[in-house]
Amino acid sequence: MLDQEIIDETAKFFRQTLEKEGSGHDWQHIKRVWNNSILLNKEEKADNFIVEIAALLHDIADWKLHEEKAGSAKAEIWLKELGVDGERIGHVCDIIETISFKGKDAIKPMKTIEGKIVQDADRLDALGAIGIARCFVYSGYKGKPIYDPSITLDSKNYIENSRSNQGTAINHFYEKLLLLKDLMNTQTGKKIAEERHAFMEEYLKQFFKEWNAA
């Protein structure tokens, strides 16, 4: 099977299976990360196949909703069925295992430029207007409140809180979203992140103004 056929088949499968996923890790999220990866790679000139297929597979089994390495295991099975060679499968699986933010004290550097591109593309979708929308969708999916001043920030238990109903949507901005701008890998990604980060800061100003009836 040709590389483009593998990409097309993967996109078709996940469009069908994740179209109505309700946590914010749905097909539209995958598609945006895919498109952002292609956009970033226009400047970086990395391996196009690895970039596109890793973007399509990066949330095949998101760690917040499944076992720790379920994503890379499922991706390996999928790519083997499509006849992808072991070296490229290993590259994609390493990206999947490293891509996610799992707390500010558990950041692992991405090894390859392909991984850096897909990681930036994924992080961009957690920023700006879409990032805000996804934050509230996931919080609602997990039963977290919008905000509660009595619930303090808890960055040390980020993994546990992300998988459970602990914390609040607004706390998530400070535990993750506002940190992403300074974790971007590529110059294009950094530029886009700056704008989206500024939008989120303005949103939070308005949120607390309304919350405090100011």
What's 11's DSSP letter? H
Please check the confidence at residue 95 and state whether its pLDDT lies above 70.
yes
| Residue 71 predicted with pLDDT over 80 | no
CA proximity to 183, closest of 169, 197, 172, 171: 197
Q: Give 7-33 pLDDT, tens digit per residue.
A: 999 999 889 888 878 778 899 999 999
Q: What's the CATH code of the domain at 135?
A: 1.10.3210.50
- The residue segments making up the domain with residue 133 are 3-211
Q: What is the mean pLDDT of residues 132-155?
A: 92
Lowest mean pLDDT among 21-25, 66-70, 195-199, 200-204: 66-70
Q: State how far Cα 5 lies from the chain centre.
A: 25
Q: What is the mean pLDDT of residues 118-125?
A: 97
Minimal CA–CA distance to 15: which of 32, 39, 38?
Answer: 32
Q: How many structural domains comprise the chain?
A: 1
Alpha-carbon span 105 to 87, nearest angstrom: 30
Separation in Å, CA 82 to CA 6, 53, 61, 175: 7, 12, 18, 38
